[in-house]
């Protein structure tokens, strides 16, 4: 029988394995082969590191809120302090007292409101033009010169009144209703000074805003004035003063004051007549 030494090779798992090969040789060949290499991509597993909480992280929002509140409060405090320091103590006191008194004032004002309604209603009063005749001692462009002569006449027992008109200062001794009366009075004056009698002097109508009661009262004086020029009787003037309204408009203050002063005399002299007429001619809204 013929010995067949031919070899049979078997491939397992795509690897060719030869049978009949020496086992030691096969072992050596396996050791020479490189180990199995895994070429698949690496897989990374996330590592969760546990965070340790601290005081700042926990209370940070509260600290921020507290600091913000402190800063805002401090700013507002300084602002209010500045306002109160700058306020005038007298003004603060006045405002406080004014608030305390306001209720009382309001109550009394309401009580008098109806009573004063007619008085507060302004209406225009217009006087008539008036003409009389005066004895004139002189006329000057400077008030000082008129005053000097006035003092000299007063020393001679001749009272005179300075009447200013159109930047001129007239010095009058007396006033009369007629030219002849003025001239006769001049002749009765014993003086060496040069004077002029029978001079016509006219005042234009005056117009002023007053209450209804004042308007009626002034109208009665406007009728009374011409009769005062030639009379020494003061009773008519006193009667007119006795009818004075309770409330007097400021524009009438100087005239009314002079009229009240003259009404206390025993009779009307020339100086009083001139002063009263002059004040009446100066009435105007102020």
CATH of the domain at 264: 3.30.70.1070
Query: Which stretch of 98-107, 212-221, 245-254 has the lowest confidence by average pLDDT?
Result: 98-107
Element spanning 18, H or E: strand 15-18
- How would you classify the pairing of strands 123-126 and 207-210? antiparallel
Q: What is the pLDDT of residues 147-178, one digit of tens each?
A: 999 999 999 999 999 999 999 999 999 999 99
Classify residue 201: in a domain, yes or no.
yes
> 61 vs 258, which has greater pLDDT?
258
Q: What is the count of structural domains for the chain?
A: 1
- What number of residues does the chain have? 286
User: Strands (DSSP E) along 193-284, which ranges?
Assistant: 196-203, 207-210
User: What pLDDT, on the 0 to 100 scale, is given for residue 32?
Assistant: 54
Q: Which two tokens stand for residue 111?
A: 């009580």
Average pLDDT, the chain: 79
Determine if the pTM surpasses 0.75.
no
Burial class (CB in 10 A: 0-12, 13-18, 19+), 46: exposed
Number of C-beta neighbours around residue 263 at 10 A: 19
Q: Which of 46-60, 123-137, 184-198: highest mean pLDDT?
A: 123-137
User: What pLDDT, on the 0 to 100 scale, is given for residue 61?
Assistant: 78
Cβ atoms of 179 and 114 closer than 8 Å: no
- How would you classify the pairing of strands 15-18 and 9-12? antiparallel
> 89 vs 31, which has greater pLDDT?
31
> 80 vs 89, which has greater pLDDT?
80
For residues 266-272, give the mean pLDDT: 94
User: Strands (DSSP E) along 116-191, which ranges?
Assistant: 123-126, 130-140, 161-165, 168-176
Q: Which two tokens stand for residue 5?
A: 């030494």
Domain that holds residue 131: 126-281
Q: What is the pLDDT of residues 223-236, one digit of tens each?
A: 999 999 989 999 99
* Locus of tokens 């602002």: 79
Cβ atoms of 133 and 200 closer than 8 Å: yes
- How would you classify the pairing of strands 123-126 and 130-140? unpaired
For residues 75-103, give the mean pLDDT: 56
Classify residue 157: in a domain, yes or no.
yes
Phi, psi of 282 (to 5 degrees): -95, 5
Q: Is the pLDDT of residue 110 over 60?
A: no
Q: Is the pLDDT of residue 96 over 70?
A: no
User: What pLDDT, on the 0 to 100 scale, is given for residue 202?
Assistant: 96
Q: How far is CA 82 from the centre of its chain?
A: 23
Phi, psi of 101 (to 5 degrees): -90, -15
> 198 vs 62, which has greater pLDDT?
198
Phi, psi of 175 (to 5 degrees): -135, 140
> 224 vs 285, which has greater pLDDT?
224
Cβ atoms of 119 and 247 closer than 8 Å: yes
Classify residue 2: in a domain, yes or no.
no
User: What pLDDT, on the 0 to 100 scale, is given for residue 121?
Assistant: 72
């Amino acid at each position: 029988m013929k010995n067949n030494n031919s070899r049979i090779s078997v491939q397992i798992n795509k690897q060719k394995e030869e049978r009949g090969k020496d086992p030691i040789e096969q072992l050596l060949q396996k050791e020479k082969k490189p180990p199995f290499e895994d070429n698949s991509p690496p897989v990374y597993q996330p590592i969760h590191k546990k965070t340790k909480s601290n005081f700042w992280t926990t209370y940070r929002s509260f600290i921020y809120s507290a600091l913000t509140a402190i800063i805002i409060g401090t700013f507002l405090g300084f602002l209010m302090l500045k306002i109160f320091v700058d306020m005038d103590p007298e003004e603060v006191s006045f405002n406080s007292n004014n608030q305390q008194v306001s209720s009382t004032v309001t109550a009394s004002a309401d009580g008098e409101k109806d009573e004063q309604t007619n008085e507060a209603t302004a209406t225009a009063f217009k006087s008539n033009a008036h003409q009389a005749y005066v004895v004139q001692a002189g006329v000057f462009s400077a008030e000082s010169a008129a005053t000097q002569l006035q003092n000299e006449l007063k020393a001679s027992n001749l009272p005179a009144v300075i009447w200013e008109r159109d930047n001129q200062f007239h010095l009058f001794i007396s006033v009369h209703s007629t030219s002849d009366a003025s001239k006769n009075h001049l002749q009765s004056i014993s003086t060496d000074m040069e004077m002029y009698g029978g001079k016509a002097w006219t005042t234009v109508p005056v117009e002023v805003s007053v209450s209804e009661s004042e308007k009626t009262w002034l109208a009665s004086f406007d009728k009374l004035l011409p009769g005062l020029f030639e009379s020494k009787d003061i009773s008519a003037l006193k009667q007119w003063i006795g009818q004075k309204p309770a409330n007097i408009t400021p524009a009438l203050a100087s005239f009314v004051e002079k009229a009240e002063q003259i009404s206390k005399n025993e009779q009307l002299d020339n100086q009083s007549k001139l002063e009263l007429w002059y004040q009446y001619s100066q009435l105007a809204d102020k």
